[in-house]
Amino acid sequence: MKDYSLSRKLKSEGKINSQFESMLSALTLEDVISLKLEIASRNVKGKLYGFPVYQAMPNIAKEAVFKWAISAADTKTNASRILGISLDKFNKIYKKLNIDNFFQKNT
């Protein structure tokens, strides 16, 4: 598997830096999600009507964990083991999320 790193990708795109990572590490995952939703909703005065946030969260969380596993593992087999899924299922999700394209954009 390629040497994918979300941190490196976001840094190369100028979206984050080491100071941001330090500050982020002090927050819980719940804080990060809540803050992201709060910031996103500011433009619409706190209302995200029509977007099923609660229903979408399992998919959003699964995609985030999938991308983390790819960054953390050195092979697809190891990433699938981290996630507790079969390699076949891993490869289907990998293709569905177009992971190679995601990590290669702007790098």
pLDDT tens by residue, 87-107: 999 999 999 999 999 998 754
Residue 97 falls inside a structural domain: yes
- The pTM of this model reads 0.83
Residue 1 falls inside a structural domain: no
Q: Region 9-27: what's the mean pLDDT? A: 96
Q: What is the pLDDT of residue 51?
A: 82
Q: What is the pLDDT of residue 45?
A: 77
Residue 54 falls inside a structural domain: yes
Tell me the DSSP string of 67-93: HHHHHH-SSHHHHHHHHT--HHHHHHH
Counted domains in the chain: 1
33-81 residue pLDDT tens: 999 988 888 888 777 778 888 999 999 999 999 999 999 999 999 999 9
- Domain encompassing residue 93: 6-104
